[in-house]
Amino acid sequence: MEFDTDIAIVGGGPVGAALALALRNSPLRVTLLEARSAPAASAARDPRPIAISHGSRLLLERLDAWRTLMPAPIAHIHVSQRGGFGRIALSARDAGVPALGYVVDYSDVFTNLANAARVAGSDYRDDARVSAIHRDGDGCRIDYALGGDTAALHARLAVVADGGAIDGIAPAKVVDYAQCALTARVRAAQPHRDTAYERFTTEGPLALLPFGTEMALVWTLTAARAQWLEGAAESEFLAALRNAFGGRMGEFTQVARRASYPLMLRLSAHADPAHVVTIGNAAQTLHPVAGQGFNLGLRDAWELAQVLCTTPAQALASPDGLRRYRNARRLDRLATAGTTHALVRLFSNDFFALGAARGAGMTLLGCVPPARDFLARRMIFGTHG
């Protein structure tokens, strides 16, 4: 059978583009199908901040996709709970890294990686909306619309990197948190000093991340509360934020770029159809607590590339090769998803007994350097830390 390409990546966003970059020195032909139009225009409409761990920075450096980003470093992380005792303080110095992580606009990450994939020689097709993937002989056929016309692409292997590309591509466990993440940019009276704050409230976690002279806010709320705050007057929004976060930053003085989106846990069973493998948001969609989603997806892309680069083209979709990748990723995926899910369930309530237990646990963790360092390395490198 004649193939148009060896690997078709469905989803040319950051994770899909990272996979293409990781394959750029291999003899494999790679085609990316991205549903959105030109990256710069599409990404500008997405106000989400992305937290990039130091481990992800190392991967992006290997992909030659780091130098053109302008990230805000996180030197310290302060974890606390509203109305309760206990705290955890992490620092880059204690972890032995230049920064615990970095904060970047989604638009910058998307544009940077998409453009790098183009320059690296990948066949990157914008405005290509995939409708179906079918088994076809020794490979698969991908049906998509391009500029109003229907088209088909025959590939040896399809890698789905876009969680919204094709519904039901693989069995998945889905948990609806009945919450929304409200994102914004805020200014405060006190400087952030490169410190990220994770504050657990009864509604859900509230994260403030250093971002230049501002802070990027990711605030978990009920859907009704998020909708109200998204459209509230600036003074009402800032007063509500001050009440939830406390006075550590002084008064909040300005808010901009408000947006919200629903939250869920979606974890595929990795029982993908033949000749298809899922990575990134297509394999797992996580709650934003602790900012692990993009970092986990980037590790997916990197490890899949290592498997594909050592696999002959005619064996790309072999059960043994894909099994090797899935086995290698299982612990990291399950541990990261399980940790974020447990944090949401444990901290998003106002049970007095749990509050006391949480405070005691945080105090103990903050006072035991080996445990604190283990937590920091897991956040930075995943299970490889």
pLDDT band, residue 353 (cuts 50/70/90): very low
At 237, list the tokens.
Answer: 């929004």
Torsion (CA) 238, 244, 246, 251 in degrees, nearest 10: 0
> pLDDT digits over 203-228, tens only?
888 999 999 999 999 999 999 999 99
The percentage of residues in the chain with a pLDDT greater than 90, rounded to a whole number, is 49
Pair 184, 238: CB distance under 8 Å: no
Superfamily name and number for 5-48+106-170+267-343 = FAD/NAD(P)-binding domain (3.50.50.60)
For 215-252, b/e burial (b = at least 16 CB within 10 A) is bbbbbbbeeebbeebbeeeeeebbebbeebbeeebeeb
> pLDDT digits over 74-91, tens only?
999 988 887 665 678 888
pLDDT of 200 reads: 84
At 360, list the tokens.
Answer: 């005691």
Domain ranges of the chain: 5-48+106-170+267-343, 72-104+173-264+355-384
Q: What is the mean pLDDT of residues 119-136?
A: 90
pLDDT above 50: residue 351: no
Token match 């705050």: residue? 229
Pair 303, 329: CB distance under 8 Å: yes
- From the list 44, 20, 49, 45, the residue with the least C-alpha distance to 33 is 20
Question: Class of the 72-104+173-264+355-384 domain?
Answer: alpha beta
Distance, CA of 52 to CA of 293 (rounded, Å): 9
At 95, list the tokens.
Answer: 């972890």
Q: What is the mean pLDDT of residues 4-29?
A: 95
Pair 260, 181: CB distance under 8 Å: yes
For the beta carbon of residue 362, count every other beta carbon within 10 angstroms. Answer: 20
Please list, in sequence order, all residues whose beta carbon lies within 8 angstroms of the beta carbon of residue 122, skipping any fewer than 6 positions away. Answer: 17, 20, 21, 24, 30, 31, 32
> pLDDT digits over 39-70, tens only?
554 444 577 899 999 899 999 999 999 988 88
Bridge partners of residue 80, in order along the sequence: 87, 199
Distance, CA of 124 to CA of 182 (rounded, Å): 32
Judged on CB neighbours under 10 Å (0-12, 13-18, 19+), 257 is: middle
pLDDT of 377 reads: 54
Judged on CB neighbours under 10 Å (0-12, 13-18, 19+), 273 is: middle
- From the list 224, 229, 209, the residue with the least C-alpha distance to 179 is 224
Helices (H), the chain: 14-22, 39-43, 54-62, 92-95, 106-119, 223-231, 234-245, 293-309, 319-347, 352-367, 369-381
CA quadruple 102, 107, 108, 109: dihedral sign: positive
Give ∠ CA 283-293-80 in degrees, rounded to 5: 140
Q: What is the mean pLDDT of residues 294-304?
A: 95
SS3 of residue 350 by DSSP: coil
pLDDT above 70: residue 382: no
Average pLDDT over all residues of the chain? 85
Q: What is the mean pLDDT of residues 256-270?
A: 88
Distance, CA of 211 to CA of 195 (rounded, Å): 10
pLDDT of 273 reads: 74
